[in-house]
Amino acid sequence: MTTKQDILRFLEEMDIAHDDTVTIHAALRKVGPIEDGADGLIDALTEHLRDGLLLVPTHTWAVVNKANPYFDVRSTVPNIGTLARIAAQRKDGVRSLHPTHSMMAFGKNARAYIQGEEKSGTPAPMGGALARLYDVGGKVILLGVGHERNTYLHAVDERVDVKNRLAEEGFDVTITDWNGNTILCKDFHPHEVHGLPAHVSGCSEYYPNYNKAFEVADAVRYGRLGNARVYVCDVRKMTDQMMKIWARADRDMCVCDMEIPESWYM
């Protein structure tokens, strides 16, 4: 069993500082048994980040859409796994009001960090909570998953203004906040990518194409926690490397399986 002390030791070994801002995606079944389960993992992370901020994605993109344009921060259940569902139920954090890509924030200045997410017109706009990970020098932990679950990379797509990422037609979303008040988020444009193979659900499935470039930029370190491989990613280094690639690219790397030419990032 992975204990709280195992998690705390791992965070120290991976040079995650006590005042870092960290977001995490996890497949807990890959880790194996964890002391106190998902709550135990969150407890260990928040204890280590005692002067920082933990952001646990509680995304609802599968259930908030044009056919069901409603998000209630108090009750809309995340669709991305156990850690998200458990985090959304906790009382020691605050969930953002983003209609499809909300996050549960724990720690220092949590409410201030996620303020204004109800005004987001896209999944990861500039100025939003995901994009601001670059400004604060944040880190991404991928626990038992790879870059195909690295939601932060959507924020880079939006920063670079990559075409073929967002739906042309938007819709209005009714958001219910923590106190039961309703807010109208107008003209929200969800993810939509054309030209993908029939068996592929979105461009994120091809985000692992970036991995070699990230390694060259020292943007990712690897470790193990329990039975799972872990990526610890430096947000600024990932972003800068992706921007270098897109400045040189002659095609979209995330609509097919391809090796990115070294000349695009070396």
Distances from the Cα of 55 to the Cαs of 123, 149, 205, in angstroms?
A: 16, 15, 22
Task: Indicate if the pLDDT at residue 225 is higher than 90.
Answer: yes
Structure tokens, 66: 């044009």
- Asked whether the predicted pLDDT for residue 67 surpasses 90, the reply is yes
- Band of residue 108 on the pLDDT scale cut at 50, 70, 90: confident
- What does the alpha-carbon distance between residue 59 and residue 7 come to, in Å, rounded to a whole number? 24
pLDDT of res. 78: 98
CA distances from 149 to 124, 190, 206, 248, 259 (A): 14, 17, 10, 25, 19
How many structural domains is the chain composed of? 1
Q: What does the pLDDT look like over 175-221, one tens digit per residue?
A: 999 999 999 999 999 999 999 998 888 999 999 999 999 999 999 99
pLDDT above 90: residue 21: yes
Q: Is the pLDDT of residue 153 over 90?
A: yes
Do the Cβ atoms of 99 and 187 come closer than 8 Å?
no
Burial 176-187 (b: 16+ CB within 10 A, else e): beeeeeeeebee
The partner residues of 57 in beta bridges, in order of sequence, read 103
Using CA atoms, how far apart are residues 179 and 224, in angstroms rounded to an integer? 41
> What does DSSP say about strands 53-57 and 171-176: parallel, antiparallel, or unpaired?
unpaired
The three-state DSSP-derived secondary structure of 128-176 is CCCCHHHHCCCEEEEECCCHHHCCHHHHHHHHHCCCCCECCCCEEEEEE
pLDDT of residue 190: 97
pTM score: 0.96
Q: Which of 35-44, 148-157, 199-208, 232-241 has the least mean pLDDT?
A: 199-208
* Rounded (to 5) percent helix, strand, coil in the chain: 35, 20, 45
Distance of CA 65 to the CA centre of its chain: 19
pLDDT value of position 89: 97
Average pLDDT value for residue range 232-239: 98
Structural domain boundaries enclosing 80:
4-264
Phi and psi torsions of 94, nearest 5°:
-135, 130
